[in-house]
């Protein structure tokens, strides 16, 4: 998990959305193996995503930096790192709430790792994650080399 926030990374604000996402993921049966906070910006976020995805077969969720402020650059940083886009996941997350139309979040893969951006608000991040959690295990199975159509002859 990666929280993207100048104030959280500086230690001046509590990481409420990161905590909420960690709880949501744990409740869904995911193990949180790393949790970090970095300041907003393409370089800081792309570097952290590269580190988190290196040799990791799993889900990396970001929170923060998906809006319209000048420092909201998480989608741009994510695009630098992604090998393949997963627009259906980003679209599903945007559809859960009317404010989702303001999200610029990205989703895609880096090796065997699935990366998804969520907003920085507690409710928005959890809503967006819950919108895709049902398909994440299958996506991770496919990234690990699983059969795309297990019921096909």
Please give the Cα distance from 45 to 140 (Å, whole number). Answer: 22
* E-state strands within 15-144: 36-38, 59-63, 84-85, 107-110, 113-118
Q: What is the pLDDT of residue 69?
A: 94
Of 46, 135, 32, whose CA–CA distance to 82 is shortest? 46
pLDDT digits (tens, 9 = 90+) for 81-140: 999 999 999 999 999 999 999 999 999 999 999 999 999 999 999 999 999 999 999 999
Write down the mean pLDDT value for the chain.
95
Q: What is the pLDDT of residue 148?
A: 72
Full set of structural domains in the chain with CATH: 2-139 (3.40.980.10)
pLDDT digits (tens, 9 = 90+) for 31-72: 999 999 999 999 999 999 999 999 999 999 999 999 999 999
């Amino acid at each position: 998990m990666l929280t993207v926030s100048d104030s959280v990374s500086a230690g001046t604000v509590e990481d409420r959305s990161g905590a909420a996402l960690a709880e949501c993921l744990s409740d869904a049966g995911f193990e949180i193996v790393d949790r970090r906070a970095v300041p907003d910006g393409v370089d800081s976020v792309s570097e952290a995503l590269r580190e988190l995805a290196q040799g990791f077969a799993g889900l990396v969720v970001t929170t923060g930096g998906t809006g319209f402020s000048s420092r909201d650059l998480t989608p741009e940083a994510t695009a630098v790192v992604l090998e393949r886009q997963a627009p259906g996941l980003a679209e599903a997350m945007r559809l859960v709430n009317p404010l989702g139309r303001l999200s610029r979040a990205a989703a895609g893969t880096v090796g065997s790792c699935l990366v998804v951006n969520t907003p920085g608000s507690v409710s928005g991040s959890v809503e967006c994650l819950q919108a895709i959690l049902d398909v994440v295990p299958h996506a991770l199975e496919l990234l690990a080399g699983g059969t795309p159509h297990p019921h096909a002859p």
